[in-house]
Amino acid sequence: MVLRENGEGVEVAARDFPTNRGGLCQKGWTAADLLDHPDRLTTPLLRDRPGGELRPAAWDEALDLVATGLRAIQERHGRDAVAVFGGGGLTNEKAYALGKFARVALGTRHIDYNGRWCMSSAAAAGLRAFGVDRGLPFPLADLGRADTLLLVGANPAETMPPLMRHLADQRERGGRLIVVDPRLTATARQADLHLQPLPGTDLAVANALLHIALTEGWLDRAYVADRTTGFDEVRRTVAGCWPAEAERLSGVPVADLEATARALATVDRAIILTARGAEQHAKGVDTVTAFINLALALGLPGRPGSGYGCLTGQGNGQGGREHGQKADQLPGYRRIDDPAAREHVAGVWGVDPAALPGPGVPAYQLLDSLGTAHGPRALLVFGSNPVVSAPRAARVESRLRDLDLLVVADFLRSETADLADVVLPVAQWAEEDGTMTNLEGRVLRRRALREPPAGVRTDLAVLAGLAARLDAPGGFPTDPAAVFAELRRASAGGPADYAGVSWDRIDADTGVFWPCPDEDGPDTPRLFADRFPTPDGRARFRAVTHRPAAEPVCADYPLHFTTGRVLAHYQSGAQTRRVAALRRAAPGGFVELHPDLAGRLGVAEGEEVRVVSRRGELRAPARLSPAIRPDTVFAPFHWPGAARANTVTNDAVDPVSGMPEFKICAVRVEKA
């Protein structure tokens, strides 16, 4: 987008760019409404005693209190008694600085971020199959050129509306769109074929598609032989994945499975994309792996105009996980348990590699351990609102209340900030420079339009102020350009190599695709053309089998519950719920029920219902729609309080990625 002061405030205009092609969604058009919002935080807030009110304070008082509290807790309980929780919306510079702050200034292994609940399953599956995690290993424009496009668990018409322009291109060229989703979403309504499986059965669908492709002789044998390993075990596994069994498990007719496999296998250009609907499960990594297996068997990855990819959610969902906020990673997507990676990054930071802590634990496990006998006693939160966004949210809220010290840096008073002992007011997106990396791996510039309001500091300044008070080794610059220059050095040679990405180079073109190791050399808009970044250059098949949801339905909880987003709101809604136009478009939460289910329950349109799971309940008006399966209920997760969907969701996690099972749990529905 393009911003300019117009004398009455900030005006937002769409920029004609390769990814959005001049389009913005409602949230983009209204984003400037938050810059001068009356709820804007402009002074630090402190809570003098447990249960007391937050009061205004000076910056020195607030930072001194935080630093003193952190020191005391670590002296009493050890380095790992302090934890850091980041966000997928932070710029690359802030994500990098936050990871460095945790490891160098605090010396704690406990850092993770809310992106763990977004992309982690696809990231883990991509790493073990391809040797790298980049949401799209090809430019977004390829979608418009695909003869067949399979979207699994994605609803971009509501979550990423500008992307729909590429899907319109695909339709105009005669391409076929197939959508896999338990709901007839706004995206599914535009599809040529909609597969409507039971939530949690996408893996069975994927294996059945591969079974059909093998039975029909659609395997790209030369590609499999020349560019992959491990196919024989996958062949033996999917031989028993009969389409009729997939229909029994998922409800998707065999005829639709056969039509989908044919549409993918008998065209020149086919693309398979997964998103949160397939990934936010306790078997999310295996589910994505099954779709990658299908793509590899058909020879799609690396073929021009074809491939497998993942639709990244948050604004910096890709860059936010590349530079050190994940529990197991260092900048450049290096593993923190890799001695060579530790030595390289420690050299950039000017510290002893042995002083760097080891891997931490994924986001939910971290939050669930807060305030316990062996968990962290203090937490610093930047760019996240876990009171609304975390699974089993009531339990997480209780854990946050048990802390000795909770510090939240934000520009609005979120539900998490309401629990904090210290709230630090920080700059918004239009008030600071930086870079972000989109789902294509394209590094973009974000330019400041104006200075932050008086009394507000940037996240980088907050981290630098705390690092100085903690006598941290190494430097903590406050200038984003200086931080990015350091990030380039730290990422050099890593999988996500930014060494050749300069701000000037980004400005001279429409962004720069990583890896880009040389400022005078090419970037990499397309991966996998000749080889995969694995030790032998081959992609890896991995045999996976369907397994049930972590929590099956039963007599007491006979319905499946799933969550998602609506067009007007974003993530926990802390920002979008404050925008008048978005609030008018979607004023509150709701529970979507099929009319047949509503009839059996005696529930009318708009009547308040209770959705009850083993973890708690939500209350919201019923919205009757034939778009949902009769055995499934849906609620958006943007609202706090009684309508908080994540009070109900299951905290079972994927054993590889740490992704919680947001997309399915067992519930009952009652009149409120």
Average pLDDT of adjacent 10-residue blocks, the chain of 672 residues: 67 80 81 90 94 95 98 98 96 98 98 93 97 96 97 94 93 97 97 98 98 98 98 98 98 98 98 96 98 98 96 82 94 96 97 97 97 95 97 97 97 97 96 95 94 97 98 95 98 97 93 96 96 97 97 98 94 91 95 98 97 98 97 97 98 97 98 92
Return the pLDDT at 269. 98
Total domains present in the chain: 3
Return the pLDDT at 4. 67
Q: What is the residue-averaged pLDDT of the chain?
A: 95
CATH number of the structural domain spanning residue 157: 3.40.228.10
Phi, psi of 668 (to 5 degrees): -125, 155
Query: Is 355 found in the same domain as 450?
Result: yes
Asked whether residue 251 is domain-assigned, the answer is yes
Question: Which residues partner with 619 through β-bridges?
Answer: 610
User: Among candidates 49, 55, 47, 9, which has minimal Cα distance to 31?
Assistant: 9
What's at 621, amino acid-wise? P
Query: Is 281 found in the same domain as 148?
Result: yes
Q: Which domain holds residue 293?
A: 136-311
Asked whether residue 203 is domain-assigned, the answer is yes
Give every CB contact of residue 423 below 8 A, 6+ residues apart in sequence.
Answer: 41, 44, 45, 54, 407, 408, 409, 410, 413, 417
Indicate if the alpha-carbon torsion angle 204, 271, 269, 516 is positive or negative.
negative
pLDDT, one tens digit per residue, over 38-84 is: 999 999 999 998 889 999 999 999 999 999 999 999 999 999 999 99
Asked whether residue 29 is domain-assigned, the answer is no
Asked whether residue 527 is domain-assigned, the answer is no
Share in percent of the chain as helix, strand, coil (round to 5): 35, 20, 45
Asked whether residue 19 is domain-assigned, the answer is no
Query: Is 333 found in the same domain as 299?
Result: no
Return the pLDDT at 21. 79
Return the pLDDT at 182. 97
Query: Is 71 found in the same domain as 47?
Result: yes
Q: Which residue has the tokens 């397939």?
A: 278
Q: Which residue has the tokens 């760097």?
A: 356
pLDDT, one tens digit per residue, over 418-464 is: 999 999 999 999 999 999 999 999 999 999 999 999 999 999 999 99
Residue 519's SS3 state is coil
Decide: 113 and 88 in contact? Cβ < 8 Å: yes
Decide: 272 and 210 in contact? Cβ < 8 Å: no
User: Among candidates 203, 207, 208, which has minimal Cα distance to 287?
Assistant: 203
Asked whether residue 4 is domain-assigned, the answer is no
Query: Is 157 found in the same domain as 278?
Result: yes
Query: Is 485 found in the same domain as 420?
Result: yes
Decide: 93 and 435 in contact? Cβ < 8 Å: yes
Sheet with 111-113: strands ordered across: 54-56, 45-47, 422-425, 405-410, 378-382, 82-86, 111-113
Radius of gyration over every alpha carbon of the chain, rounded to an integer in angstroms: 24
Return the pLDDT at 22. 78
Query: Is 219 found in the same domain as 282?
Result: yes
Decide: 59 and 457 in contact? Cβ < 8 Å: yes
Give every CB contact of residue 111 below 8 A, 6+ residues apart in sequence.
Answer: 83, 84, 85, 86, 98, 99, 102, 103, 324, 325, 326, 327, 360
Query: Is 399 found in the same domain as 276?
Result: no
Structure tokens given for 184: 């007839």
d(CA 529, CA 596): 50
Query: Is 274 found in the same domain as 140?
Result: yes
Quick one: DSSP state of residue 667? E
* Tally of residues, the chain: 672
Quick one: DSSP state of residue 410? E
Residue 44's SS3 state is coil
CATH number of the structural domain spanning residue 661: 2.40.40.20
Q: Which of 494, 513, 532 is the last residue of a domain?
A: 513
Query: How many other C-beta atoms can be found within 10 angstroms of the C-beta atom of residue 223?
Result: 18
User: Among candidates 324, 292, 311, which has minimal Cα distance to 134?
Assistant: 311
Asked whether residue 536 is domain-assigned, the answer is no
Instruction: Name the pairing type of β-strands 422-425 and 405-410.
Output: parallel
Give every CB contact of residue 224 below 8 A, 6+ residues apart in sequence.
Answer: 231, 296, 297, 299
Return the pLDDT at 6. 67
Asked whether residue 523 is domain-assigned, the answer is no
Return the pLDDT at 27. 83
Q: Which of 283, 311, 339 is the last residue of a domain?
A: 311
Query: Is 568 found in the same domain as 494?
Result: no
Query: Is 204 found in the same domain as 94?
Result: no
Q: Which of 513, 540, 572 is the last residue of a domain?
A: 513
Query: Is 504 found in the same domain as 463?
Result: yes
Indicate if the alpha-carbon torsion angle 119, 120, 123, 129 is positive or negative.
negative
